[in-house]
Structure 1
Amino acid sequence: MVVGLEGSSSSQAALRWAVRYAGLVGGRVEAVTAWEVPGEASWSAPAVDVTFDEEDAERRLVEEVRTVLGEDGASLVHERLVHGHPVEVLVDAARGADMLVVGSRGRGGFRRALLGSVSQQVALHAPCPVTIVRPEAPAE
């Protein structure tokens, strides 16, 4: 199964859910993070000198998986960093997967208001079943 991971508490809850579910059904988990250079998808964006360190981003992805799952849990996950719009990347990654798992809310903000949520879009376009996981509520 494929899980979208982008640093939000909701995507981290999706990762934990995916690993638990994969353990029950004997599946494998691929954590996919998409990256875009700000403004590259829009013709009206200002010229910005943006440098992206792919090695650093991959290292941070691996660290995030270890932080969320611990060393043992992280060994069950294959991490992948992919250039492109998150919806396109996740839909493409889900081809051939049994399930796509995403958080209900990402980093959001103004861009989300313009484009719609990633979870909503992948639910509409994914080639497999989609599970949308809400962030875990803090213990009272």
Structure 2
Amino acid sequence: MDTNDSAPRIVVGVDGSPSSGAALRWAVRQAGLIGGTVDAVGAWEPPVAYGWSAPVVDTTLDEEAARRAFTTELREVLGDACPVKVNGRLVLGHPAAVLLEAANDAELLVVGNRGRGGFVRAMLGSVSQQCALHATCPVVIVRPE
């Protein structure tokens, strides 16, 4: 496969969920069909402290745990013989904001959907919903297999 800068780029959100694994597999298959590359993007956020004053917290362990989970998912889903070039990137920030930024100049954004609905979704909004509403490229939402 040609891995030059002009190859179509597909961004996929990776968060360790079954729908994330399904989205990653879908993105790799699609990249193979169009001669593209995949940017697997994960986001992590430090724990939120509530109260009168937020303590100073060392987030090094949180980032390390997020990085281990991210690389483990990529290794387990992709295996040893991935047919396309996959770039992995873990970013500090809210998942929807991170994915929307990463997909700014992408051919396609692929996200999983955990299928949570009802009251929780109405209050918080889902990452897939935010991506579908605000992405500057087409969005594919993949449900768990």
**TM-score normalised by length of structure 2:** 0.79
Judging changes above 3 Å, is the alpha-carbon distance between structure 1 residues 70 and 106 closer, same or farther for their aligned structure 2 residues? farther
RMSD: 2.5
Write the mapping of 1:43-58 to structure 2, written as runs, cut at 5 A.
45-46=50-51, 47=54, 49=57, 51-53=59-61, 54-58=63-67
Q: Matches of 1:107 and 1:7 in 2, distance apart?
A: 16
CA contact (8 A) 1:35 1:86 kept: yes
- Shift of the alpha carbon at 1:73? 1.8
User: Any residues of structure 2 matched to 1:42-81 within 5 Å, and which?
Assistant: 45-46=50-51, 47=54, 49=57, 51-53=59-61, 54-73=63-82, 76-81=85-90
Indicate the residue corresponding to 2:133 in structure 1.
124
Structure 1 stretches of 4+ with a deviation exceeding 4 A read 110-113
Larger mean CA deviation between 114-123 and 48-57 belongs to 48-57
Give the greater-gyration-radius structure (CA): 2
Q: Does 1:8 align with 2:24?
A: no
Once the two structures are superposed, residues 76-113 of structure 1 have per-residue CA deviations (whole angstroms, 9 ceiling, x without a partner) of 311101011111100000011000000011899x9755
Residue identity in the other structure for 1:38 = P
Using the size of structure 1 for normalisation, the TM-score is 0.82
Corresponding pairs, count: 131
Q: Distance in 2 between matches of 1:39 and 1:74?
A: 39
Please say if 1:90 is aligned against 2:108: no
CA contact (8 A) 1:10 1:105 kept: yes
Mapped to 1, the partners of 2:83 and 2:15 lie a distance apart of: 16
Q: In structure 2, the residue corresponding to 1:71 is in which secondary structure?
A: coil
| Structure 2: tracts of 5 or more residues without a match | 1-9
In structure 1, the gaps of 5 or more residues are: none
In the alignment, the residues of structure 2 paired with residue 66 and residue 121 of structure 1 have an alpha-carbon distance, to the nearest angstrom, of 27
Contact 1:13 1:133 in 2 (8 A): yes
Deviates more, 1:97-106 or 1:78-87: 97-106
* 1:111–1:85 distance in 2 versus 1, CA, 3 Å: farther
